[in-house]
Amino acid sequence: MGNLTHDEIQALAEHCEKAELQAYEITKITDDYPQMTYEDAFDIQWEARRRKEARGTKIVGMKMGLTSWAKMAQMGVEQPCYGYLADYFSVPDGGDIRMDELIHPKIEAEIAFVTKAPLKGPGVHIGDVLRATDFIVPAVEVIDSRYKDFKFDLKSVIADNSSSTRFITGGCMASLDEVDLKTLGVVMEINGEVVATGAGAAVLGHPAASVAMLANMLGERGEEIPAGTFIMTGGITAAISVKRGDAISVRYQGLGTVSARFV
Ligand code: OOG
Ligand code: MG
């Protein structure tokens, strides 16, 4: 059920997307629209996505967020959310990320899936996801909530495309029988210093559960995950703030290193 009008959805999508494109802070939407529902929040996210596609931007994948206890505790939110990834979010491994295009970025170590068969909820489970997975790759997500001081509630963050802004994909892929995603370890370093460590099971017990949840959440809107979709399953550890000049590198057990520099 939605409580906002069509015009309010349009205006709020423009409001959030402008803050993203021009890198400025806004206050959380529920302050001004306390009656906003989850359906309204997703309508705002999908409207911003539609606006981007209408300008020729390509959607290149999806992400789940707030899928680990570390992240849920850090943000004070107890439910996962999803967002889309646009073509210009993608940064090559070893590349530069421009601080002047962002507000207050943080980095997250994630496992990404690439599918080979469609997944459509409701009722999608881990078994379906494992069967539909082509391969996995390591990824680092850069999040940049448009909300002041990263302070939001779940509805507001959904409307803001779940804080999505940049991502870096590693070049080392694995099939699911080559890795144990529950015990797969990650070590995050900034300027050579270890800042966070974790293992895949932090993400809903198994990162494939995150893909299943995405399929089921999309199913509620009649949408599916098409074959060939790149999906980031959510930060394994808490997100770590970065500043200009930082060199980041995340090591994934058996899957190499993903690195970037904030300039
Ligand atoms: C929301 C996005 C969280 C993740 O991997 O948990 C996210 C936020 O914390 O700003 O991408
Ligand atoms: Mg993330």
CATH code of 63's domain: 3.90.850.10
14 within domain boundaries: no
Is any atom of ligand 1 closer than 6 Å to the C-beta of 119?
Answer: no
Residue 117: DSSP 8-state: S
Rounded Cα distance between 251 and 253, Å, is 7
Is any atom of ligand 1 closer than 6 Å to the C-beta of 71?
Answer: yes
Query: Pick from 208, 189, 207: which is nearest to 197 by CA?
Result: 189
Is any atom of ligand 1 closer than 6 Å to the C-beta of 203?
Answer: no
Identify the nearest ligand to the CA of 145 by its number. Answer: 1
Is any atom of ligand 1 closer than 6 Å to the C-beta of 169?
Answer: no
Give me the mean pLDDT over the 227-250 stretch.
Answer: 98
Residue nearest to atom 10 of ligand 1 (CA): 163
Helix, strand, coil share (%) of the chain residues, nearest 5: 35, 30, 35
Query: Pick from 225, 8, 22: which is nearest to 117 by CA?
Result: 225
CA 250 to ligand 2 centroid distance, Å: 14
42 within domain boundaries: no
7 within domain boundaries: no
16 within domain boundaries: no
Is any atom of ligand 1 closer than 6 Å to the C-beta of 141?
Answer: yes
Which string of b and e fits 168-193 if b means at least 16 CB within 10 Å? bbbeebbebeebebeebebbbbbeee
Is any atom of ligand 1 closer than 6 Å to the C-beta of 66?
Answer: yes
177 within domain boundaries: yes
47 within domain boundaries: no
Residue nearest to atom 11 of ligand 1 (CA): 65
Residue nearest to atom 3 of ligand 1 (CA): 65
137 within domain boundaries: yes
Is any atom of ligand 1 closer than 6 Å to the C-beta of 162?
Answer: yes
Whether residue 118 is preceded by a cis peptide bond, meaning omega within 30 degrees of 0, is no
The 10s digit of each residue's pLDDT in 23-54 is 999 999 999 999 999 999 999 999 999 999 99
The 10s digit of each residue's pLDDT in 162-220 is 999 999 999 999 999 999 999 999 999 999 999 999 999 999 999 999 999 999 999 99
Residues flanking ion ligand 2, Cβ below 5 Å: 65, 108, 141, 235
Q: How many domains does the chain have?
A: 1
12 within domain boundaries: no
Which string of b and e fits 225-258 if b means at least 16 CB within 10 Å? beeebbbbbbbbbbbbebeeebebbbbbeebbbb
Are 119 and 211 in contact, with CB atoms under 8 Å apart?
Answer: yes
Rounded Cα distance between 83 and 44, Å, is 11
Give me the mean pLDDT over the 234-255 stretch.
Answer: 98
Reply yes or no on whether the pLDDT at 78 is more than 90: no
Could you list the residue range(s) of the whole structural domain that residue 207 is in? 58-262
